[in-house]
Amino acid sequence: MHRKTLIIKTGSREEFLDITAKVREFIRSTGVERGCLVVFVPHTTAAVTINEGADPSVIKDLRNALHRLVPYGDRGYGHREGNSDAHIKASLLGSSLHLLVEGRELLLGTWQSIFFAEFDGPRQRQVWLSLVF
């Protein structure tokens, strides 16, 4: 098994950062031909997701839809830290991904990219990568 921690610095309260290149770089550095990669975010107000990376409007639409579904601010949330929306959005997207590796390459669809989703920034975050072969 190979492991790595990516350090992600976010610059705003909510943003999606494409981490695909960093994940691919990690896979290539291991020399592993075939396996399963787990991408895990150890934070309750951040997430990881796969979506289209070619057209930035897709991620903008996703961010806007999440904002409409789960608005920021005091909307009757019980959690009084002021970041209940961030916890809910992170739960909707999820904290982990399981991805296939073949021929030392990450297997993604043509338009797919991996995104780190920040919902309570700006902060310094971690993304844990674990490649099992």
pLDDT digits (tens, 9 = 90+) for 85-103: 999 999 999 999 999 999 9
- The C-alpha atoms of residue 45 and residue 34 are separated, in whole angstroms, by 32
Q: What is the pTM of this model?
A: 0.96
Banded pLDDT at 74 (limits 50, 70, 90): low
CA separation (Å) from 11 to 22, 98, 124?
A: 18, 27, 9
The number of domains in the chain is 1
- The boundaries of the domain holding residue 118 are 2-132
Q: For the chain, how many residues are written?
A: 133
CATH code assigned at 95:
2.60.120.460
In the prediction, which pLDDT does 67 show?
94
